[in-house]
Structure 1
């Protein structure tokens, strides 16, 4: 399979990318994707036959922390190693940071463990839609 890789958001069709996320991760409007990718230090886009089949990004400060996020692969390309290559590329781009973070879709944690990611005991988050985050399994029940 001939894949075309780019790390630049220049020329990305944000509607096309939004369609990928809608299938793979959930609704991410095109206008919002344009903003978050423009504000990300590292980006990764993969095309096959001219169409976006995978993407991911990392927010990073250049020294202390890089946060991998929005890693998505079209369902027909899942299981081909494409997701693994996107994560590996973002981890390589993040090399030199003191820590590389991510949070996984519930159930996908074993995929990231293969890269050496470990579960954090103290990770916490604020979500603008807490009921949806809870429904999707991103929030654990608080201890009594």
Structure 2
């Protein structure tokens, strides 16, 4: 597997990125929304194989206090090969120097991220656009 890594959004095909998130599956994100999210993220990681986008991740960071690692996604054909681990490791490395790194994970994937040193927070809280869906999918507790 010959992979090319990039942090540039200059020639990114936003529709291809949206298709990757649907295939991963990490939701139906619009190309426009992804452009805004990635443009505003300090750290970005794109992985290509033969010119095709196969993996991605980003970190929204302020450069000093907090880096929020999110949106790590791989095409199903590239899952289970260690590529996700490499993307997270790259984002953790880029985020070093921040006082804290926060990561938002799909329920059930916590053991994967614990290998990097992430631990469950007792004080984290969230408001979702669709609270009922977030509750049903295991992202929120009842109380």
TM-score by length of 2: 0.97
Who is 1:9 aligned against?
A: 9
Who is 1:30 aligned against?
A: 31
Post-superposition shift, 1:26? 1.0
Residue-pair matches, total: 142
Who is 2:90 aligned against?
A: 89
Who is 2:46 aligned against?
A: 45
Post-superposition shift, 1:135? 2.0
Q: Does 1:63 align with 2:59?
A: no
TM-score by length of 1: 0.97
Give 5+ residue unaligned stretches, structure 2.
Answer: none
Q: Deviations over 1:121-140 (max 9, x none)?
A: 11000111111211221001
Secondary structure of 1:4's partner? strand
Separation (CA, whole Å) in 2 of partners of 1:69 and 1:57: 6
Q: Does 1:112 align with 2:126?
A: no
Who is 1:140 aligned against?
A: 141
Q: What's the Cα RMSD here?
A: 0.7
Q: Does 1:20 align with 2:6?
A: no
Runs of 4+ in 1 over 6 A off after TM superposition: none
Secondary structure of 2:60's partner? strand
Post-superposition shift, 1:46? 0.3
